[in-house]
Chains A and B, each alone.
Chain A
Amino acid sequence: MRRGKGLQQFGRFLFLAIVMVLIIFPVYWMINTSFKSNAEVFQRHPTFWPHSPTLAAYSALMQPTGTRAPFLQTMLNSLIAAAGATVLSVAIGICAAYALTRLRFPGRDTFSALVFGCYVFPGILLFIPIYIQFQQLGLLDTFPGLILAYQIFGIPFATWMLRSYFVTIPSALEEAARIDGCNRLQSIFYIVIPLAAPGIAASTIFTFTTSWNEFLFAQVLMQTPEKQTAQVAIYSLMNGDTLPWNQLMAASVLVGVPVLILYFGAQRFVGGGLTAGAVK
């Protein structure tokens, strides 16, 4: 019995070790490439450790070119857009989720389904009508415009996620508060929101990273170099005929690091967040 168990342990360990390698190696390779000089990148036989590590790629990114702002500035733009979109989505999502779980009114279930359906609609077709609409309203190349566009997936996602958290909070607590004299708004602020804090945190993190990673709308709606987001800046590094691989990898690393930190730092919430609605 013990030997069988030992074998099982070993098997599991080996399996996980292989999985870890498969996960980590691509990331390692990206980081590795970002520290190489262009000449070394274009050698026939790839080197697993840069022969002459250099920060050339990173420093090149920090310079503005004719079509691209310094990369840090584009990251700031991403931050503004993502943070703004997240705040708006979560705020609206809290209201909507509350309405869908606590209040009874005709059409509630339909709204529920509709809101969720919005989330899964492919964005590819929406961006031309939105471009034209925004252009007529003067919302192009503005952060409010982009933040508004991000509500397309932001609100449904936040609503859906928060809804599953709100459902787990017994209404008895709220009713007790109301009996004690709170009105509805107070009970929301003092009871529901604190109890749903993990869910709100999870929604915030997910909405933020989805907005941070978003590419299509950022490319279409923010067009001047000063306003570009980091994802678009990465893609625009692929200019014409020659791809500066080390810069591409460096930019990818820079864009990925904040997201990874966010996820790791909030891993508690993330584990719970992903299961919201899936597990009670």
Chain B
Amino acid sequence: MSNIAETDGRTASSRTDGRQIGRYRSLERRDIYTGYSFLAPAILVLAFVLLIPLVQAVILSFYNKPIGATATFTWLQNYSDTLIDPSFWRAAYNTLIFVVFSIIIKLILGLAIALALNQSFPGRGFARVAVLIPWALPEITACMGFIWLLDGNVGALNAILRGFGLIEQNVYFLSDPKLAMPTVIAVNIWRGFPFFTLTLMAALQTIDKDLYEAADLDGANSWHKFWFITLPSIMPVLTVTTLLSTIWTTNSFTTIFVLTGGGPSDMTTTLPIYTYDQAFQGYANLGRAAAIAVIILPLIVLMIAMLMRVMRKREEIEA
């Protein structure tokens, strides 16, 4: 109808589909109009529920705002208070430990399982489905289950370990200062490795089998094949998955909150927990909590930028 003018088959198409080079015509104005109108619902809704509260939160960070009381303007006081608070740096350190160990182990474990599932064997179908379970269970469900399982007095894990003679006395997984963080990391790994496994399984499927056969002919062993064929092929997927998981793990709140509440003392207090404490526990200063979030934000933005760059680069390669 009105688009019959585009008969030469070349239109201003999406740039990511780099096969065709766009030719701008009067079409372009329509494109812009259409583009904005398609995007409008998303922008409007997000402006309402995200942007405005976000701006309000940033403004809040310049005030002292106890719950229920009126706000008093304190300019940068919240920021300076946070940066000199040793608990903040402790929380930052805890977050680093939590994220680094979680991600590394999730990666290795997820990859190992994906590799193991990559070949046929009886029960493979069941295993591939079962691997989904920790990811699919709601966070609270899983955490409640683990609190009960790990209980130091009547928990099943202690009973099992004692039954096998591995321990003499009950282990207090969630309240022993030395064990709390490893335990919380372990639960996070349990919940998170399926994400790696699933994405890597799909990635492994796309590797050309011929490559392996060629390598076999050249006398390569398993390790060579893995290192020189498998790993490079899945590296793009691995990178994206890792970055995404890192962002999620850094923001992780509910798991630690339900399991230990940040304790004992501040052994498992990560930055999100620290923020919540400042907002709602006895300290109760919403402005301070907002400032903490603003401080953390650049870190998250950095990770997102890296993620987007990697994804964009891959799309260009594939074009």
Which positions in A face B, CB cutoff 8 Å? Answer: 8-9, 12-13, 15-16, 19-20, 22-24, 26-27, 29-30, 33, 42-46, 48, 91-93, 95-96, 98-106, 108, 111-113, 115-118, 120-122, 124-126, 128-130, 133, 148-149, 151-152, 155-156, 159, 167, 170-172, 175, 178-179, 181, 183-184, 209, 212-213, 215-216, 231, 234-235, 245, 248-249, 252-253, 255-256, 259-260, 262-264, 267, 270-272, 274-275, 277-280
Contact = CB atoms under 8 A, between A and B. Distances in A.
30 contacts: A15-B112, A16-B113, A16-B116, A23-B190, A26-B190, A29-B149, A46-B159, A96-B41, A99-B39, A103-B35, A104-B12, A105-B32, A113-B305, A118-B50, A122-B293, A125-B290, A126-B53, A133-B53, A148-B45, A148-B48, A171-B13, A179-B7, A252-B145, A255-B141, A256-B137, A267-B128, A271-B198, A274-B195, A275-B203, A278-B236
B182 interface: no
Contact of B301 (A9, A91, A102, A117): A117
Given A92-B42, A130-B53, A167-B16, A103 B34 contact: yes
Nearest to B127: A16
Most interface-central of A121, A215, A255 (chain B CB within 10 A): A121
Interface stretch (B72-80, B98-106, B247-255, B261-269): B247-255
Interface string B128-162: 11111111111111101110110001111001000
B195 A98 contact: no
* Interface bracket on B: 35 or more
B132 A13 contact: no
B252 to A, nearest CB: 10
Nearest to A130: B53
Interface stretch (B54-62, B172-180, B223-231): B54-62
Given A104-B28, A278-B199, A124 B116 contact: no
Interface of B: 1-4, 6-7, 9, 11-17, 19-20, 22, 28, 31-32, 34-36, 38-39, 41-43, 45-46, 48-50, 52-54, 56-57, 60, 112-113, 116-117, 119, 121, 127-142, 144-146, 148-149, 153-156, 159, 190, 195, 198-199, 201-203, 206, 222, 236-237, 240-241, 247-248, 251, 253-254, 272, 275-276, 279, 286, 289-290, 293, 296-297, 300-301, 303-305, 308, 311, 315, 318
